Structure 1
């Protein structure tokens, strides 16, 4: 599973000119399920995201988590994070989970986030989305976990 986190002052997802998900200060999580990923891995990734200390404390040090600051979490499916550009000029996405499995894991990840965090918004799986954000910092953190690391 791959995730790119962006600390934001605000973020939203629009589909066909309509806003489908929006948050104020918090994290935008671009999420990619890869072949072989499962619920245990999604749970581990989510736990890491909400506890990752990337928000500034009173001294300006990155020492607070999303939970600590009660920030929003905007989750957007992003299969292109699985891009393999090593074989030419056209990326291959064979490492991404097949669409049905990707949707199942994305939906699971969203449900778990909604069950454990008070402010969660989403995009829409496989939709043509416009993601708007004001990156705070900027702070952008790539994360990757494999099924072997979830144990």
Structure 2
């Protein structure tokens, strides 16, 4: 699904550019649809990054506690990440509800906006659930590469 949405985004943008350059007419709504495919691929990719342990995370505090506390700090990190994801899901849910309530649409293609905002809830919801599981069952969490674990 991630690859398909990224390919669709690329194809739409390419068709729009080629149309503008060759026939002086872009593809109507291409940039709007491409943006929706970008949002979908980004939010689905976010959960994949969490699953593989390659998402960005602050490392400034890694050396502040003794190494013996590492398992506890890992769990605490997953709990904090899950809490942040839950807050983002809640904020996105409220945002989507308001968008739906006011019947907001894309000005160009006249589609409702709220269905295109739902990947925010899905992406952060899945990653929050994953962090909850990692906090409860640390063995499920992706392991750090050997080079990073030694640093």
- What TM-score, normalized to structure 1? 0.29
**Per chain length, whose mean CA-contact separation is higher, i.e. which structure has more relative contact order (CA < 8 Å, sep 6+)?**
1
More helix by share: 2
More strand by share: 1
Bigger radius of gyration among the two:
2
- What TM-score, normalized to structure 2? 0.29
